[in-house]
Amino acid sequence: MEVVIAPGPELGRLAASAIEQLVREQPDTVLGLATGSSPLAVYDELARRHAEHDLSFARVRAFMLDEYVGLAADHPERYRNVIEKEIASRVDFAPGAVQGPDGLAEDLVAACAAYEEAIASVGGVDLQLLGIGTDGHIAFNEPGSSLASRTRIKTLTRQTREDNARFFGGDIDQVPQHCLTQGLATIMSARHLVLLATGRGKAEAVHQLVEGPVSAMWPATILQHHPHVTVLVDDAAASRLQ
């Protein structure tokens, strides 16, 4: 596990550079996209490089980490819509190249299985962007998640719903109770994991991720078993590292 401590704006550029290098070497790269605040600087930087330096995503396919269950198709916080707004609409992905778990499917269990098959059918994810929750979740694998889990339905913890209420006008009651999320084993199948974390609120989770014992109670600690992980953190998020 490589840990890089740098100022916030630099972190976005570092992650964007890893993606740019991969996409230029291998134009049909498969990317894993995260939502939330952490990857926004990366998406801004990729959009800039697309506009100013001809970085093309025309042959790239991308898979999202997770999706809320039951948010209306046009809800601005539906993760498909967030990804469309923050990155897909700003670069040149081919139609249908960005996929996510279908939180509106009638059969959610079948939708999870289909999503795993879709990822496997393109040979897996080359580079997966990740954030981390204050409770150590990655994607929506909350504490207690099986370290061997695959894409499935999960119940969001009150902590995560409180953390995400800021996207729903500060009203926790508007935050869905359930989600579909790639499992920890799904994430571990990606070839390179790039995790971003900023701010003091992430310091304990980053400490556990890097220095804690591997435990389902801090799901991100499973990344210690991955051969190629880059952790990009600012000073505040790194403040509890030994």
Residues that bind ligand F6R (CB under 6 A): 34-38, 65-66, 131-133, 137-140
66, 67, 86, 163: the active-site residue: 66
CB closer to ligand F6R out of 119 and 132: 132
| 226 assigned to active site | no
67, 102, 116, 137: the active-site residue: 137
CB closer to ligand F6R out of 132 and 175: 132
Residues 6+ apart with CB under 8 A from 179: 66, 67, 68, 69, 103, 140, 153, 154, 156
Q: For residue 64, give the 3-state DSSP assignment.
A: strand
| 137 assigned to active site | yes
For residue 129, the minimal CB distance to ligand F6R (Å) is 9
Residues 130/195, Cβ–Cβ less than 8 Å: yes
For residue 135, the minimal CB distance to ligand F6R (Å) is 9
- Output DSSP code: residue 156: P
Place of tokens 């499992």: 183
CB closer to ligand F6R out of 26 and 204: 204
| 178 assigned to active site | no
Tell me the residue number closest to ligand F6R, measured at CB.
Answer: 131
240, 223, 154, 159: which is closest to 187 by C-alpha?
Answer: 223
What angle do the packed helices 8-25 and 40-53 form, to 10 degrees?
50
CB closer to ligand F6R out of 27 and 224: 224
| 92 assigned to active site | no
142, 163, 192, 234: the active-site residue: 142
Task: Count how many residues are written for the chain.
Answer: 242
| Catalytic residue IDs | 66, 135, 137, 142
